[in-house]
Amino acid sequence: MGPRFREDDTFSCGSFSAMTSRLRPGVIAALAVLALDQASKLWLLYVFDLPHRGAVKVTPFFDLVLAWNIGISFGWFQSESQLAQIALMAVKAIAVVVLAIWMARSRTWLATLALGLIIGGATGNAIDRFAYGAVVDFALFHVQIGEKTLNWYVFNLADVAIVAGVAALLYDSFLGVPAAKAP
């Protein structure tokens, strides 16, 4: 007697459409994030010409600035070596595959959507790393308190999607619909 599969764990017996409809929110989220992220970066780099404009004040607390992140999140592990960049791309590729498997097995709409946001953001930043050797960051929030200016990290839309996806996963795990208890 071999392993037993539930109907929704396999592509056979007509469940392909059930699987694809269950994955649809995550796939749409991933593609939308990827498209918006890459479009915003291309527009800022080549149409708006942010590299030549320098910092652009948008509001009293938000500027557009160009930052090339050669490290990982928050600029950690910065290295210009080609080997380090390849290693970061490999880690990112493995992470996206693991997240896609998790998304295929997710049981809630919110988890599927959240994983799609993370996958889309990670893929957008990976494309930057491949195309430019660094991730294009451009959004800077700051606050002036007296004579001191406090800056947040410079980030992009992919980073926003990743943070939103992680927040949604945390919400789903702690406050979402509880899993059915085994008999």
pLDDT at position 11 is 44
Q: State the Cα–Cα distance between residues 175 and 15, nearest whole angstrom.
A: 29
pLDDT at position 60 is 93
Structure tokens at 99: 């997240």
Q: Which residues pair with 145 in a beta bridge?
A: 148
Cβ–Cβ under 8 Å, residues 25 and 112: yes
Structure tokens at 56: 């652009």
Cβ–Cβ under 8 Å, residues 88 and 129: yes
Sheet of 56-59: strands edge to edge? 56-59, 62-69, 135-145, 148-151
Q: Taking the model in full, what pTM does it have?
A: 0.80
81 three-class SS: coil
Residues labelled as active-site residues: 137, 159
Mean pLDDT by 10 residues, the chain (183 residues): 45 53 93 98 97 95 94 57 74 90 93 97 93 93 92 94 96 75 45
pLDDT at position 89 is 78
- Alpha helices in the chain, H assignment, sequence order: 16-42, 50-53, 82-105, 109-132, 157-175
pLDDT at position 70 is 83
Cβ atoms within 10 A of the Cβ of 171, count? 13
CB contact set of 107 (below 8 Å; sequence gap of 6+): 179
What's the pLDDT tens digit per position in 134-150?
899 999 999 989 999 89
